[in-house]
Amino acid sequence: MMNAPKRDGEGANVAVRHGTLDNPPELAPVRPGEELPWDQLVDYLVPRLAEQGLDVPAELSVRQFPNGSANLTYLLSFGDVRLVLRRPPFGEIAPGAHDMRREYRVLSRLWQRYDRAPRAFLFCDDHDVVGSDFVVSEYRSGVVIWGALPASMRGLPDAARRVGLATVDALADLHLVDPAGCGLGDLGRPEGYLTRQVTGWRHRWELVAAPDSDAAMTETGERLERTLPPSPVPAILHNDFKIDNCQFTLGEPDRVASVFDWDMATLGDPLADLATLLGYWPDPSDTPDDHALHVPGLEALGLPTRAEIIERYAARTGADVSRISWYQTFASWRTAVVCQQLYHRYLRGDSTDERMVARGESVPGLAARALRMAREDLA
């Protein structure tokens, strides 16, 4: 018989990623209602991990990474071997979202050419194991920056600025990877990427639309569709690139060590990825009623401005960023759809995560921001 997973406080041997009073702890006990059938999981994993050269004991300790908004992510500790399991959230899933097969495909190959990508070891689509697809990948210790610099970086000169530049460098370096060189040349359909994005997100909005934001979201979607820019050479896109999906080595602000959450990765227009980052980035031009959707506290760190991020990206990649305003409008509009989807899941009872209420509350502001940018820049 397999040993039951150890509960928090019962000797679980894990390395907790850094947390401070301002940066929430990166590991916590599993949230009630988000437990998995651990014994079945152990039975499934142990022999298959052995095939990957990972000989692990049949004794499992589990903690959860609690800070993500959608996919469920767990730290699995088999003795001294630590692995990460990711699966979709419970309940109804939006079309094309939470694609664990895609995440496995990317992370089982990309790590060879882009060392910030953790290596994936195993993908499972047998729903009898944990109730959904899931992927298992390597665990890397380090620090994720939320609303404050970690203690290991405080006191370093210009630490926040260095963190910001390292973040955009990590995105630029991803876009410089040759997809064919790591077996990802057919990851997506780059031709017509922006057209499908706008059409697809308009449809997703229709499925969950909030009445008080519907007019703004509809008008913005129409303007985006009428003013599509020509896309540059396609690149590997992360599709949710932001500072809290990046991990740093303790005390080292100049280079992103790892990038997480690859389930939406594809081939497409790299400027859409840059705009996603900008949509989560604070700027001195922001106002209380019109601002990017960033983690509270980031605005006070001393990060580079959005204009500096665009300039750094263009210098590193050689990209033409003259139409970045279209992409920034798209990013704000798309993020509003994502937040409404998360809130809709909460209202349906598919999630008990109270943070989803705040996601819903952010939708009117994001919708208004997107419409303002659309009317100013997308004639």
Classify residue 246: in a domain, yes or no.
Answer: no
Classify residue 45: in a domain, yes or no.
Answer: yes
Are the CB atoms for 101 and 123 separated by under 8 Å? yes
CA Rg value for the chain: 20
Q: Is the pLDDT of residue 57 over 50?
A: yes
Classify residue 46: in a domain, yes or no.
Answer: yes
Classify residue 201: in a domain, yes or no.
Answer: no
Pair type for strands 59-65 and 3-6:
parallel
Mean pLDDT for the chain overall:
91
More confident residue, 69 or 281: 281
**pLDDT, tens only, 119-149:** 999 999 999 999 999 999 999 999 999 999 9
pLDDT for the residue numbered 95? 59
What is the rounded average pLDDT of the residues 333-342?
95
Tell which residue, 7, 221, 255, 217, has the closest CA to residue 114: 255
pLDDT for the residue numbered 91? 74
Domain containing residue 101: CATH number:
3.30.200.20
Band of pLDDT at residue 15, cut at 50, 70 and 90: very low
In sequence order, what are the residues at sequence separation of 6 or more whose Cβ sits closer than 8 angstroms to the Cβ of residue 191? none
Q: Is the pLDDT of residue 101 over 70?
A: yes
**pLDDT, tens only, 260-317:** 999 999 999 999 999 999 999 999 999 999 999 999 999 999 999 999 999 999 999 9
Q: What's the total number of domains in the chain? A: 1
pLDDT for the residue numbered 67? 80
Domain of residue 25, residue span: 3-138
Classify residue 32: in a domain, yes or no.
Answer: yes
Classify residue 173: in a domain, yes or no.
Answer: no
Classify residue 131: in a domain, yes or no.
Answer: yes
Share of the chain above pLDDT 70, in %: 92
DSSP conformation class of 245 = G
Classify residue 48: in a domain, yes or no.
Answer: yes
